[in-house]
Structure 1
Amino acid sequence: MAVAWIEELFTVGEQRVDELEVYGFSGTSISADLKQRRVSLCSSSVETGLCIRTIDKGKIGSSSTNDPQQWQACLDAAIAGGRLATPQEWKGLPDPVALPTTDFAWDPDLVVEPTTAQELLVGMLEGALEYPDATVTSGGAGVAVGEITFANSHGVRYTSRQSDVSISLEAISGQSTGYEFDHAFSRSQVNPQRVGEQAACLASRSAGGKDIPSGEYDVVLSPMAYADLLSGIFVPALSGRNVLQGRSKLATKIGETITAPLLSFFDDPHRVGATGSTWFDAEGTPTRRLDFVRDGVLTGFAYDLKTAYRAGLQSTGSAIRGGFAGLPAIGHHNFVVDGKRDVVFDEPAIYVHSVVGAHTANPLSGDFSVEMSNPFWVRDGELAEPVRGAMLTGNFFDLQRQVAALGKESRAVGSYILPPVKINNVRVIGK
């Protein structure tokens, strides 16, 4: 992104407000969608844009545009919006620090062309052929590269390049479906054949499932299933904003044991190879490892600048944005679940590949009831016969104390990096 107009923006803006920041993005992407075994849509996009945030006498204003050349009008709109805002406690934007210039999640050799997406789709379709009784219903592949530019009136000037490759496939066999995905920053790190084979395998092997009676069972949640429940229930309770608003069940539990001692949760923004890794957050605050739970004990919460100042604290470098037009919000970069690793398939249990309905859980109480997708009995260390549709229910905060083991291999699920998790005595509603 051009620098000349950014410097001109600060020259003009600093005469009108106390502080301001610019968050800019430019990138290109290719995506292709499957309908059964044919490409139904292929699209490409070139995206540029910026968001300006102004602070004047504690009043915060913002505006965004997808045309950086219109920065003057964007600045005017941000200042006008700030005049209508309510003043709040504010202690200033970050000052510049010397950060490494290496990019964590960047593949300079990634080719953003339709042929790349096509190769990924073909690979998944070839993998699905391993289970001829399963029919591919849909799928997709996406390839993207982009650059973030962050600057503020304190002299911060940071840039970061990112690349992304994502694939997914869904298959059906009879009344049973299977879904699998993969994503990484490099083409070499995704395995389309495996994604296609796994989706077809799940659909094929889930056919003919048997009902189970309601009761308490030991359950192994796949990384996908555990990430869905974590993101909908537990992680919101770690937000400093929810703590300040009295909307976190964990607000008063710092220093207390809240999970099984084998569990540790932390944000690792400097993890090599992870797609969320970054040296600075969406407000220009340098990032660092942030421990939430260490050996079962709650140790901290996540804060951005605005929420930290309200709480009389410092930002934890946890600000994220959902695109250039989005304002900073509290989040995480790479949420890692870690601890002592063990075997999770050593005893009879129910394996759950994914869940449906995690968004309906109550993040305040932790109560949830979700449908199990692609569940199987675990016998003799392997997946055995499929289980017909049943529900998992309970309190997710309480279940963290019942975690019995973490699997040996972790995988990335969105911004989460985690292993399969075995939890004892989980309530299952069957027939």
Structure 2
Amino acid sequence: MRYALVTETWPPEVNGVALTVQGLAHGLLARGHAVEVVRPRQPEDPADGTGEGAIATLLLRGAALPRYPGLRFGLPATRTLLRHWKHAPPDALYVATEGPLGWSALRAAARLGIPVATGLHTRFDHYMRDYGMPWLEGTALAWMRRFHNRADATLVPTVELLDFLRMRGFERVTRLARAVDTTQLSPALRDDTLRAAWGAGADTLVAIHVGRIAPEKNLDLAVRAFRAIQRRRPQARFVWVGDGPARETLAQANPDFVFCGVQRSAELARHFASGDLFLFPSRSETFGNVTLEAMASGVPTLAFDSGAAREHLGDGVHGALARDEAGFIDAAVRLAGDDETLWAMGRAARAAVLRLRPEQVAADFDALLAGLARRGDSRAALAA
């Protein structure tokens, strides 16, 4: 099969969408398919536009995303895509982002008769609230519905989100589960030298946050939860891995916090495993890959009862699930007060995600796209 994936974000950009789409592309490639990625050109891309190994790449024009240095979005490209796919269309198309490039891909696919699936990776309706425009939540949801209902299938990572979207008029919604690579993330990577650089000794509790440092991540709650922990354990440290538009303000207001910047691959795994409690206060995630990454690293996790946490995190077993902000802070203090329980939770969290395999996600994704391609062939035969 020949598959094309359209995305407006791709590594080295660090975010859940970029890493998830890259994993899907490599998963399809490993299953023997021809894979093409269509995305905006990045400053790091070679001038000849070569792809990532065996993955073919079509690089298109893009522009910087306002307020998010280092991220880009694709400019409209319907005519380019029509020319590109006219004589050799992919058997099926996956559109991962709802920006101008994503809309262009949907239009081109409709004109050429290419079966298409979309992925709902970002809750833009929640972002309206986080950026001080709650009156636009309904408008954002309607815009998302219009986009995804143009596809033959819309893929989401949780049953919770599937049910939510179906109740709000989203059609043909299908769950595609996610996994985590437990060979790359492991408690064995815990590093006492790294912890010492953070000012943490063997008995120091290290709370850690991994992710984009941005307003939509509800970071003030993480700060308040840590300060509550600190009143009980004054030597506790709070380590932040990642970057974003809110980092400078957060650092100025909290000079005792440790900021490590963006970490990737083995370094990210080492940072994750060296924490003791992962604080994840975001309420705007469709999934939250970092929840599984923390669990794979043997780090107990505190998160809200949604997304990956609802699907995989056992309350009181692998960490805690909060239902409101007061509960989040109370759970943080409770977890931080019992080192023995934290260690047991970390071991249980690691064991819980060992059954999740990226290879199975790739197989499920392949089966879904192949099914769309077969239905597309049947429609074409009937039309002829």
Superposition TM-score tier, normalisation by shorter sequence: under 0.3
Larger strand percent: 1
Larger helix percent: 2
TM-score, normalised by the number of residues in structure 2: 0.22
Q: Which has the larger radius of gyration?
A: 1
TM-score, normalised by the number of residues in structure 1: 0.20
